[in-house]
Amino acid sequence: MAAIKAVSSLLSSLIVFFLLLLPHACIDAQSLKVCKFDGIYQLGDSVSDTGNLIREKPALPFARLPYGQTFFKKPTGRCSNGLLIIDYIAQATGIPLLDPSLDKDALFTRGRGENFAVAGSTALSAEVLAQKNISPPLTNSSLSVQLDWMLTHFNGICFNAKDCAEKLKTALFIVGEIGGHDFEYALFQGKSIEEVTHLVPKVVQAIKDAVTKVISNGGARVVVPGLFPIGCLPIYLTGFHANNSADYDESHCLKRLNTLAIYHNDQLKRAIEVLRKENPGVVIVYGDYYNAFQWVFSHAPRLGDYLFSKDRMCGNPGVPVCANPDERISWDGVHMTSKANQHIANRLIQDILPTLNCKA
Ligand SMILES: *[C@@H]1O[C@H](CO)[C@@H](O)[C@H](O)[C@H]1NC(C)=O
Ligand SMILES: *[C@@H]1O[C@H](CO)[C@@H](O)[C@H](O)[C@H]1NC(C)=O
pLDDT tens track for 150-199: 999 999 888 898 999 999 999 999 999 999 999 999 999 999 999 999 99
d(CA 208, CA 81): 32
What is the rounded CA–CA span in Å between residue 265 and residue 74?
A: 35
Report the C-alpha gap between 343 and 116 in whole angstroms: 24
Instruction: Give the model's pLDDT for residue 24.
Output: 43
Q: Mean pLDDT over residues 342-349, rounded?
A: 93
Q: How far apart are CA 338 and CA 68, in angstroms?
A: 9
If you average pLDDT over residues 256-276, what whole number do you get? 98
Distance 242 CA to ligand 2 centre (A): 7
113-131 confidence digits (pLDDT tens) = 999 999 999 999 999 999 9
Tell whether ligand 1 has an atom less than 6 A from the beta carbon of residue 138: yes
DSSP states of 7-50? HHHHHHHHSSEE-TTPPPPSS-GGGGGGG---EEEEE-STTT-S
Beta bridge partners of 115: 42, 100
CA of 258 from ligand 1 middle (Å) equals 30
Whole-number pLDDT of residue 173 = 98
Q: Could you read off the pLDDT of 283-329 as tens digits, one per residue?
A: 999 999 999 998 888 776 543 343 334 444 555 555 555 667 777 77
Ligand 1 contacts CB of residue 168 (under 6 A): no
Q: Where do the domains of the chain lie, and which CATH numbers do they carry?
A: 31-355 (3.40.50.1110)
Q: Is the pLDDT of residue 109 over 60?
A: no
> What is the value of pTM for the model shown?
0.88
Collapse the DSSP code of 248 into the 3-class scheme (helix H, G, I; strand E, B; otherwise coil) and give the result.
strand
Residues near ligand 2 with C-beta < 6 Å?
242-243
For residue 223, which amino acid is it? V
Answer for the pair 251, 301: CB distance below 8 angstroms, yes or no.
no
Closest by Cα among 152, 124, 158, 159 to 140: 124
CA distance 49 to 338: 14
On the question of pLDDT at 12 being above 70, the answer is no
Q: Model confidence over 217-254: pLDDT tens digits?
A: 999 999 999 999 999 888 888 889 888 999 999 888 99
